[in-house]
Structure 1
Amino acid sequence: MALKGTLDGETRRAALLDLTDERGRLQLAEAAELWNVHPMTIRRDFELLESLGRVRRVRGGIVPVQVDAFSTRQGRNPRAKERIAAKIVPLLPDGGAIGLDSSTTAFALADSLPPSSRFTMVTNGLSAFEALSRRPEVRGYLTGGEREEQNLSLVGALTLSAFSAFHFDCSIISALGLHGESGTSESTLAQAAVKDAMARASSSVVLAVDASKLQSRARVRALTLDRIDVLVTELDPGDARLDPYRSVVPRIL
């Protein structure tokens, strides 16, 4: 049954948020039918809610933005992250300089490096740095910066300066969202700035995201697809879900 279509915009958007939180996802076409309004009205509602950081756009609809603790996200999709880490390890040049962001995927990589690994690794992730400290052959550096509790990371001017002081053979970067048109996106300007600084300091950028991030957008743009050299997911490289990225990203694993 359709809901009242004459609700003012603010009331309608509040109701959209409540329904999205309750269901975990809301489709545009369904919302337009429920509220008995034109789909473009709902699309504008979705765009506004995303700009406010309340939802994340996915194909055909929205999902709620959840500010989860690092430990909570660390336990999400663990097999996917293990698979991604296993694909990345052979890409790392022996003795090379590697940048790692503060994502749970980067932590999974740092935690799974072979004991004999010989790298110089720089990260703004507190958990990743702790994992690197358990590898005696890895020379690990932790950037300075302001502590960001959500990601157990360091951000800000000192972080950007630290990354820019290195020349990385490659950087391992994750993202909150990845879309075929707009590239990667993050929840904050500070995180987007870190990813940009890492990419600028790197000869090669490896983007590591699990399939749940595909064709979704967070509120802050970060890296365009043409800045990504390798896309690594847990999927088979031939999976159709990776098709939106094939024309721009040189290598998909």
Structure 2
Amino acid sequence: MLKEERQAYIIKQINLHNKVLSSDLSVQLAVSEDTIRRDLNELAESGKIMKVYGGALSKSFHYPFQQNEVYAKDAKKIIVQKTMNLVQNGMVLLAGGGTTMIEWARSVPDNMECTVFTVSPLVGLELTERAGVEVILIGGQLSKNSHINTGALTINLLADIKVDLCIMGTNGLSYDAGITESDWEVVQVKKAMLKSAQKTAVISIGEKLESVQKMKICGLNAINYLITDLDPKDAQLKRYAEAVQVL
């Protein structure tokens, strides 16, 4: 594979999953980690990605966010609208982090009245612009990679609440493997979020279908809604609809 093709693949993976690990890319592309590090350095120097220890982040995932750099923004707007249809005045919500969740927070109507617990300071900051939304930040150690609070404190605090609806994104989404992640600390937080909610909606762009990360959060039968930018009758979602309500 030519360097240009390899780097295009790297950018695609970063855009899809917000972050990548050098070790994973080395296996996927069958090249040395030194080669991957050189690729990441070149991409970072050209301003296309944000290099971090052990891998890289998408520029659209790095604070402060540039709205014009959000990957698949039109698709995420479709997801946001579908997700908003589940939210009613008076509800108590639990919000995860990620670029799609930030787009959701930006789209909450000014006249919406609800309470939102969130593990994401960035989602919380967006929601504070809405007069009718009470925002409660779930504390903990702020992850430099995922930009959500993690650790024992976060998990303990989540265990003390019960919300009507949890909305969270995912790094991996597969019919067989379910909802998966690449970060162990994030996995533990998302498992705690599931336990804190009466119902859970997982949101994801359709491009992530049949992508699998190393660590499992839950099977599809553990969530209530799967929300993508695709038409619910799309052939790609047919099997998913057997396990979960697809919106």
| Shorter-chain TM-score range | 0.7 to 0.9
Partner of 2:203: 208
| Alignment CA distance shift 1:231-1:140 (3 Å) | same
Partner of 1:252: 246
What letter is aligned with 2:57?
A: V
| Alignment CA distance shift 1:124-1:245 (3 Å) | same
Give the CA deviation at 1:106.
1.2
Q: Percent identity?
A: 26
Give the CA deviation at 1:53.
3.6
1:157 to 146, 152, 163: 152
Query: Does residue 25 of structure 2 align to residue 54 of structure 1?
Result: yes
What letter is aligned with 2:246?
A: I
What TM-score do you get using the length of structure 2 for normalisation? 0.76
Give the CA deviation at 1:17.
11
What letter is aligned with 2:192?
A: A
Give the CA deviation at 1:68.
2.5
Tell me, what secondary structure is at the counterpart of 2:102? helix
Mapped to 1, the partners of 2:230 and 2:26 lie a distance apart of 25
**Structure with the larger strand share:** 2
| Alignment CA distance shift 1:73-1:212 (3 Å) | farther
Per mean C-alpha deviation after superposition, the further-off stretch among 240-249 and 134-143 is 240-249
1:67 to 45, 54, 57: 57
Tell me, what secondary structure is at the counterpart of 1:166? coil
Partner of 2:232: 237
What letter is aligned with 1:242?
A: L
2:96 to 75, 95, 101: 101
Q: Would you say how many aligned residue pairs link Structure 1 and Structure 2?
A: 208
Tell me, what secondary structure is at the counterpart of 1:67? strand
Is the CA contact 1:53–1:187 (under 8 Å) kept in the aligned structure 2? no
- Deviation per CA, 1:12-35: give whole Å up to 9, x if none: xxxx8979734518xxxxxxxxxx
Mapped to 1, the partners of 2:201 and 2:156 lie a distance apart of 21
Give the CA deviation at 1:181.
0.3
Is the CA contact 1:97–1:120 (under 8 Å) kept in the aligned structure 2? yes
| Alignment CA distance shift 1:204-1:92 (3 Å) | same
Partner of 1:24: 9
| Alignment CA distance shift 1:194-1:17 (3 Å) | farther
Mapped to 1, the partners of 2:136 and 2:58 lie a distance apart of 26
Per mean C-alpha deviation after superposition, the further-off stretch among 208-217 and 65-74 is 65-74
1:126-137 to 2 correspondence within 5 Å? 126-137=121-132
> Aligned-residue CA RMSD in angstroms?
2.7
Partner of 2:168: 173
What TM-score do you get using the length of structure 1 for normalisation? 0.74
Query: Does residue 138 of structure 2 align to residue 143 of structure 1?
Result: yes
Mapped to 2, the partners of 1:197 and 1:180 lie a distance apart of 22
Partner of 2:17: none
Is the CA contact 1:53–1:219 (under 8 Å) kept in the aligned structure 2? no
Give the CA deviation at 1:92.
1.2
Query: Does residue 237 of structure 2 align to residue 218 of structure 1?
Result: no
Partner of 1:91: 86
Tell me, what secondary structure is at the counterpart of 1:93? coil
